[in-house]
Amino acid sequence: MDELDRAIVNSLQGDFPICDHPFAEVAGRLGIAEQELISRIEALLQNGVLSRFGPMYHAERMGGRLSLVAMKIPDSNFEHVAEIINAMPEVAHNYARDHVLNMWFVLATETADEHAAALKKIERDTGYPVYDMPKIKEYFVGLRLTV
Amino acid sequence: MKPENIMPATSLDETDRQIVVATQSGLPLVPQPYHAIAQQLGITAAEVMVGMRNMIDTGVIRRIGVIPNHYALGYKANGMSVWDVPDDQIDVLGKTIGDLEFVSHCYHRPRHLPDWPYNFFAMVHGHNRAEVEEYVRKIARLIGEADRGHQILYSTRILKKTGLRIGG
């Protein structure tokens, strides 16, 4: 990454414009050509510095239901349970963590009923209880990385 | 306490929904991305732009821009710091801690006693675990006497990672 890449990553984490020629507008601010900006973003996506470029959606505001769910799974059964959980399309991310509650995943559904049904299905299919932790309040979600 | 996410949500109209489906994995990298989406959906560019501006106003779109990959940028350690704090102080603490630049997600979540006494979550990012721990000490100093116990949970393995998607 050179200075220009850093300037693009640092200055474009939030307000890409909605207008007829948004890349031209941002490029103008950075003092470069429109096509240069497009090519740079393309390259940063390709080499993995950026995971995405575009709108970041707020799942619950779209009417969906999202929660963080934890489970306590014995080591001997961990891989088997992980397979069952990962196979569910409602599960977006799943992490092993170093705690007694050792499996943590995000459960996303379009409705509250589907959410309850998915939790019941998990308990039934795995035989272990779920610790459902929907957010009560969100204080901040975002990234403010300076590179 | 009622979780925030079962409050009535903005319902998307059919055009909004089509825009979400067309853009949720990213904007096209062409000089006129909104026109490209419009063409794909068979609507006008003005409709796409108005729809997206409305979704920003209603909070359906948090923001538009680049989403950096922490890991590729050297932020290789992330710790989920979890705290037991008094419920009546949590909103004040949430504003303070959520403002810290090394915190990417900050939430009030329910306890599950006796196994899980923690009601406040702050995801902390650093270049290594020592840096994460330094940041967590900084949070502990800010929380002060309201800190009735905390832990850092590190992820040891990614078991699944797919983006959130709505169906077409």
- Answer yes or no: do B39 and B82 share one domain: no
Specify the number of domains making up chain B. 2
- Identify all chain A residues contacting B73, using CB atoms and an 8 Å cutoff: 9, 49, 145, 147
Residue B3 has pLDDT above 50, yes or no: no
Is B105 domain-assigned?
yes
Is B161 domain-assigned?
no
List chain A residues with pLDDT less than 50: none
Is B167 domain-assigned?
no
DSSP of chain A: --HHHHHHHHH-SSB---SSSHHHHHHHHHTS-HHHHHHHHHHHHHTTSEEEEEEEE-GGGGT-EEEEEEE---GGGHHHHHHHHHT-TTEEEEEEESSSS-EEEEEEESSHHHHHHHHHHHHHHH-S--EEE--SEEEEE------
ipTM of predicted assembly, 2 dp: 0.81
- Identify all chain B residues contacting A92, using CB atoms and an 8 Å cutoff: 160-164
pLDDT of amino acid A14: 84
Chains A and B form CB pairs within 8 A to the count of 259
Residue B161's closest CA among B77, B98, B69, B76?
B69
pLDDT of amino acid A36: 98
- Answer yes or no: do B107 and B141 share one domain: yes
Q: Tell me the residue range of the domain where B121 lies.
A: 77-154
Residue B166 has pLDDT above 70, yes or no: no
- Taking the C-alpha atoms of residue A21 and residue A48, their distance in angstroms, rounded to an integer, is 25
Is B138 domain-assigned?
yes
pLDDT of amino acid B168: 47
Residue B10 binned pLDDT confidence (cut-offs 50, 70, 90): low
pLDDT of amino acid A99: 95
Q: What is the model's pTM? A: 0.82
- Answer yes or no: do B36 and B84 share one domain: no
Residue B88 has pLDDT above 80, yes or no: yes
Residue B55 binned pLDDT confidence (cut-offs 50, 70, 90): very high
pLDDT tens across B129-154, in order? Answer: 999 999 999 999 999 999 999 999 99
